[in-house]
Chains A and B, each alone.
Chain A
């Protein structure tokens, strides 16, 4: 016979306004096995919890049902209170009579009846609950940071400075990300390279940071505190220890006409190359797809000229396996591909470029040494059109969101252009100017008022080339929508920021969720902005949504603190709501028949094979066994088990059936 206590919370008036709490307590107090029942204004308050604890002791309760808010809110609170009163915390259950009842139904008898039903269900369930002990798992105090842009750099440095080890993985030959491509940054016009490069060097030299460039994460297994990660280090065709970074090979390479990714196709690079002069590490890689030796089997000029004989043509990819306790995703964003705007001739006309290309033109280290020259003929454009919202806020093209950074960088571009081409005329076609941020609005005003940029409120319909000019057809909606045509020398599209290539695959590899745009999803948009739904994996920077530099850095530091907090414990405790395979006396051993269907569906590889041997050491039966450390308690194995040999604590077949019967038979 059970001795269960029922505690009905009023939640001030949140519940009692529509549910008759006294009645619920009274009626459910009459249920079989209920020893004690009461209602109280605020169960979660200190006196409320004291009431609960006293009742447990006084009435020797062996089960508790708290009818209050969502268990997602206060289940830990009440379980802790139970534990303090000497009751196993897993003998405490909550009925959600606030979110699922009082708040969604009007004040009438039906609502009170529903509340009674919900309490009854939990009373019956609690009768079947078992006392369980929390599972303890160790924490590996090393963090993995995926992505070496400004967000990854910040996160890695912050974690490393807390004294924890960091492994950084970067896909490109150098860290630095998009920020290293920028000319100057809004709203202060700091030189991007000048503020970024010292950070890059710090990463390379930090004793706590291990850097893997030209590498990708291939496999992630495990769970919070205990991830196992396989990293593929792509072959650089180079012995990095021997290479001094003298750069002789890059000057002698006969392949010189490969479009330079770092310059966004506005310049060329050789097949053995360092992405940019300030690269970290400043050592070259061979681009095998374009290298004459790998294509034709002959050349090896780099090998001949290398003074330290560091070139390794036969070097293979290396797989590195590491154990980490937390992961920070900082894989950044990408910009739209050229085929996105046929109406703007993007990709067809050389002088229609995107914002990042303009950054390279405006950068002192760029292909034109910072002079604004149009790509087609190298002339200085006297009339330039910037098109904001190129792709952003365009549901027809599949991008509904605002890319957030374009308003500001377009204003910056217009300003930089005006600073460099004094007699030039910049036009900006925009829909709205979104300049929320410290000193942002002031910056935009300066572009308009002091630099005389023509802001035209309207979207561009089409751009075509005629007699060496780009005819931009737009409209001025502030003049009632009258069409206007501008003969421009160059057009810069503020292309939408989109999820990085391969974001979806990476999300699936590391098991985090992502939105319909393939940006990684945070656990809660307001209160958990750097956490993911997967414990132990955090987000930093523009892999989550388009972000500017200060935001990315702030998010990265946020993620780093989360990692540091996690690493401040030697062990983690987990709810023991895991699956288990039943055991029976010999000769049956278990109703498990060893079909291992459970193994095939388990997302955590938590099902192991257990061999039952007889006295002679012969295997007589193979059973499934659940590794409690790995099991996350999803219960998919339970639903699939043909012999019902596997069950799950907290949601066992018996508990679930009891709940259903209690709910439907009043």
Chain B
């Protein structure tokens, strides 16, 4: 099975382990990820902050290149890239004259035929059915699934999951044998692209997120966005300083969580690359992959408490 793949810049640099884990996971399920040839940066926050045409043209080129290769589905694991590509696709679809203008700027034919999938949509479409049978090492931890902004908003365009209290990642974590906790900061902003230019803001926003997760006894925070990851992981010293306490729980990508559950080793998944060391406590491996019934009871008790 071949699926188009747009890694985006961060997965070539700061979020190298995200690409490593996605690729490794795909391999386990016999999916070949075909990188879009000669892809460029989507322009991220910078482009739409400063110039609208540019913010449309850069993503449009990526999709046009994919179209030229006959790719129908593009997996875009980076939530920021996913968001930009989806919005541009939507805007160009809604405004044909704009679409024509952008096509002339990028000097490529653009029809908008490719399907943009985020990492969870990709897993749901290609992996979920076969996931539970492959789980050999249940990911038996209390996980706070953090969706951030870009995966679910704006709902009118992305139409992915519920915009308040989304569940799709929680479901995956549960299928991997984990316990997805109910918490309040699932879709609060981490500070996004302000990481370098407004580190204090990021420390406050990300700090509040980490604080809520830890207060609710999460052992790990699961993300699907390199930007969220870098803010929660790399900015940990600033976060701890802001909170005036030491939080040392790791931040894992959803692909890493699933990778661990299907038995991939830490190195393959790039766990060693995180700035906050991944020291998950060793738990005895349970028999049947997912013991659903008792889990459910634990959950409801906590809700009612």
Contact = CB atoms under 8 A, between A and B. Distances in A.
Interface in A459-480: 462, 464-467, 471
A615 to B, nearest CB: 74
A465 B165 CA distance: 13
B184 A342 contact: no
A342 B164 contact: yes
Contact of B165 (A342, A350, A467, A471): A342
A32 to B, nearest CB: 57
Contacts of B215: 466-467
A467 B163 CA distance: 24
A546 to B, nearest CB: 26
Contact of A343 (B164, B212, B304): B164
Contacts of B212: 466
A464 B164 contact: no
Give the interface centre of B162, B184, B215 by most chain A CB atoms within 10 Å: B184
Nearest to B188: A462
Interface in A326-380: 342-343, 348, 350, 376
A464 B184 CA distance: 6
Contacts of A465: 184
Contact of B184 (A350, A376, A471): A471
Nearest to A342: B164
Nearest to B216: A466
Contacts, number: 16
Interface string A184-228: 000000000000000000000000000000000000000000000
Give the contact-size bracket for chain B. under 10
B62 to A, nearest CB: 31
B211 to A, nearest CB: 10
Contacts of B165: 342, 348
A467 B217 CA distance: 12
Interface string A315-334: 00000000000000000000
A471 B215 CA distance: 15
A464 B209 CA distance: 13
Interface string B148-187: 0000000000000011110000000000000000001000
Contacts of B163: 342
Interface string B182-226: 001000000000000000000000000000100100000000000
A462 B212 CA distance: 15
Contacts of B184: 464-466, 471
Contacts of A348: 165
A666 B100 CA distance: 51
A88 to B, nearest CB: 60
A30 B31 CA distance: 88
A90 B195 CA distance: 82
A462 B184 CA distance: 10
B147 to A, nearest CB: 13
A521 B212 CA distance: 49
A348 B304 CA distance: 10
Contacts of A343: 164
Contacts of B164: 342-343, 462
Contacts of B162: 342
Interface string A420-458: 000000000000000000000000000000000000000
Give the interface centre of A464, A465, A471 by most chain B CB atoms within 10 Å: A464
Nearest to B162: A342
Nearest to B183: A464
Nearest to A349: B303
Contacts of A466: 184, 212, 215
Nearest to A471: B184
7 contacts: A342-B165, A348-B165, A462-B164, A464-B184, A466-B184, A466-B215, A467-B215
Given A348-B165, A471-B184, 7 more contacts: A342-B162, A342-B164, A350-B304, A376-B304, A462-B164, A466-B212, A466-B215
Minimum-distance CB pairs A-B, first 7: A342-B164, A464-B184, A343-B164, A342-B165, A342-B162, A466-B184, A466-B215
